[in-house]
Amino acid sequence: MTTIADPKAPRPPKPRPARLTTRGNTELYGWVFMRASGVILVVLIFGHLFVNLVAGEGISAIDFGFVAGKWASPFWQIWDLLMLWLAMIHGTNGVRTIINDYAERDGVRLALKASLYLAFVVVVVLGTLVIFTFDPCPAGSPADLLPSFCTTA
């Protein structure tokens, strides 16, 4: 006759992996973010490319007046702000994944990711400031370089 364990007995502890590779669900949220932001970025960037490179005179029409004309409207300010933040987070997370995959030495990996995060902060802060502190009609600039509403207003 075989004895079976007491049903109320405590369970033996589960064997744990030797090294925990992630804590919490951060990588899952990153994975979801890549897909969600990707869908939005397709719309934002295709729209950006169409308006700047295809419509009208395309790239030959891009100058200070063109940019000032766009950012005079909150619509394009929000569009470009969203594009900046989503693309920078999406791209930084993508490059982070690639660094984790290929940089095997701890020091190299750490240094690459530190420069990546530094670049992220600099570019996102600079871009955000430029969108919101931009002056379409800077004083003392020649009128022919400025959008037409600078002189008519």
Tell me which residues touch other proteins (CB under 8 A): 35, 38-39, 41-42, 45-46, 49, 53-54, 57-60, 62-65, 67-68, 84, 87-88, 91-92, 94-95, 98, 119, 123, 126-127, 129-130, 133-134, 138, 141-142, 145-146
Q: How far apart are CA 61 and CA 53, in angstroms?
A: 9
Nearer to other proteins among residue 67 and residue 103 (C-beta): 67
Nearer to other proteins among residue 2 and residue 63 (C-beta): 63
CB of 141 to other proteins, least distance (A): 5
Sign of CA dihedral 134, 139, 141, 142: positive
Task: Collect all residues with Cβ–Cβ distance below 8 Å to 125 and sequence separation of at least 6.
Answer: none
Nearer to other proteins among residue 10 and residue 74 (C-beta): 74
Helices (H), the chain: 26-49, 64-71, 74-102, 106-133, 149-152
